[in-house]
Structure 1
Amino acid sequence: MQSANMLLRKIVRSSVLPFAAQHGMKKDLFPLSRTLSLSLCLKQDKSREPSEKLDLDEWKKVMKSGLQEEVSETVSEPKELSGLAAARETLEMWRLAGRAVPENISEEELKTFMECPSKSAKKKYLKYLHLKELHKKNDKRKMREKRERRLEDQASKTDETKKNSFLCMWSSTMDKAYNWRAAQSMIFGQPLVFDMSYEKEMSLREVTNTVRQIVLSESCNRRSADPFHIHFCNFKDDSLYHREFVKQYREAWGRLLVTVTDQCYTELFPKDKLIYLTADSPKVMKTFDHDKIYIVGSMVDKSIKTGVSLARAKRLGLETAALPLEKYLLWSTGAKNLTLDQMMHILLTLKDTADWKKALEFVPKRKYCDFVNKPVKELKKTLDLINTLKLGKGREEGQKQFAKSYPKKYKLK
């Protein structure tokens, strides 16, 4: 039987295949399965023709490039893993040596630790994380003690019915009222823009501080009588800003009553209505304009980089303004930069009262001596006292600085 099958195959190969190659396939000559098998055989025979030759040099190049890509992919991951492992070993050694090192550290914090340029910078960063961890533990301990005291007070009190003429206002009711105001501001409120395009200008720690200040600003705005309609412009998904906001708000981030967009504010509003608030502006803000749209740069710079927001406003061709701090305050020391939540308090107070003295009360008192509207003799006494306590021999320089700031109105004798 096997010999008969072998003989049949030889006959088909010697007679049928040359006929099919010359005259093509016939429908009635073979069944469908046979035609498929013959077509496969023909394709195999055609692929073996000597006219088509394989280029060995090209094949070697392709194989080598593929191997190099696979090797680079497999080597890059162990390098990162080895760097993280080495950083963890360094942390363990420093912890055993008695240095200020946090007990728990995330991968992002480890990468930031590895990116520190010097050993002293790494020590400072670890000390910051250690103190942050201690503060969290202390807060948790205080909350636990407070909860225990509250439970003890509730257990010690009797079940006497309390009578009070005042209505009980729950915090959830107040939150609903605040959210209703914020929802109304998104339709009828004056826009206030936070420029979120300064991520490259800051470190991870500075971005974290910026987001915390914006969270405080949003909370202050939501609790005000006439809140702003807050816009986060130039906001990119999966950016450092976005990650920190999700950390701060958690599930509430999706329910936040603000406008978040990746568009620039020049695309959303007309340029003639935009005013960029920056401390470096040569133009001083005189009054609060309810028809204008104010822009605040979302940046916290520990090194105080001057002119960054002013340069951005000039590139976009926008009007700029600075707060009149020297006009109303006798400035003492330090830069005239304020935090974002302080700016929010000042703008809300100006919007409600139009009173600069009330608004500038939110400026930290360590930065100025007093308000300018007091008598000159009192200002002179205050300035002399500060010079004797802080400057010592630099009393004359302080007086010169006072005369330079207020040459027309006041004279020191």
Structure 2
Amino acid sequence: MAVLVNDGAVPAKMVAMLRVGLTGGIGAGKSTIANRLAEHGAVLIDSDQIAREVVEPGSAGLAEVVDAFGGEVLAADGTLDRPALGRLVFADDAARTRLNGILHPRIGARTAELMAEAAPDAIVVHDVPLLVENGMWANYHVVLVVDAPEQTRIDRLVSSRGMPEEDARARIRAQATEEQRRRAADVWLNNGSTRDLVLAEVDALWADRLVGFEGNLRLRRAAARDSQPMLCTSDPNWPTQAARQIDRINVVAGERAHRVDHIGSTAVPGLAAKDVLDLQVVVSDLAAANRLADELIDVGLVRNSEGFTDTAQDGTEWDKALAVNADPGRAVNCHIRPADSPAWREALLLRDWLREHPEQVTAYADIKRQLAERNRYTRMDDYATDKTPFLRAALRRAEDWAKETGWR
């Protein structure tokens, strides 16, 4: 029954605390992770607990459920008979939609109240079993997914809850797939082995990432980075990580964003790069760019207060805004460019040209490695400047390619 009624919404524009979404399939052992985070000092908001609270005896929620589904969903003591209700709605989409329409607004309102009560320096962990199924991941600064092998989960459900094995399998099949959860997960926690191993991961996550992220967010401070270009081999996970950040940016930007794209070296398969995601948002003008850069604090990106200028291929200069990660665990540069700047088109053109020319990917990677090995940089901007001759020549060839192919 719990899997049906626990998708309380996260209120928008709540930047006073770090919001952590915690989820995982039935039987994965989320409570182990949630309890450990609470021991460290996290404020834990449990969607299942709220779902029970809004249908307590005497509540308006319970009265509306009974009105909708009949007295047979009540136990002898006047409480909600969850198994009986579950049998009515589990395989009936219309009934489930009706139930959710009764409960979700109440769960969302209560969730908002609890978040509003959290201290400004809180790390709020919102335990939401259906976070992925309901497309809620973009509302959190960090999403933690707890997983375990399917048979392990089935064994847990049979032994600890007395659930028939076929029922356990049916519940698992009704939830998100591993692929869907990985798409949403900033952190993947394997809870299929010994308890001590996963708790050690949680302890390290708290100390090395969450505490620093909260402090950076509260102080509107960018996470520290190395001044030296540390090149990594191309990571096939970069596009998925970028897509997750783009989802978050779109929550804030909405229709103001003409487009949001993954650009730069991490957007080119096979290209060695710094482990920094470059994203680009195109908006109407520079004033809109500056406003959005300030607002992206709501999704963990901090506006860089310095002025930033792009030099286009024709030599003209164009101002932009830049927001960067407060999260110590995921480096991001978000370039916010006005629609009349040629720089946003050039960034996309260079990306797409490199994707179509593997030999140029190799040449660019060689230049990067030579610069990184030869020089000791005090500023990352100097490394970017040293790459400019190659990029200028590449853009000239890319423009010829665009004319030949009709690229736009």
What TM-score does the superposition give when structure 2 sets the normalisation length?
A: 0.25
Q: Whose Rg is larger?
A: 1
The structure where helix makes up a greater share of residues is: 1
Larger strand fraction of residues: 2
Kindly indicate whether structure 1 or structure 2 has the higher relative contact order, using CA contacts under 8 Å at least 6 residues apart.
Answer: 2
TM-score of the two chains, using structure 1 as the length reference: 0.25
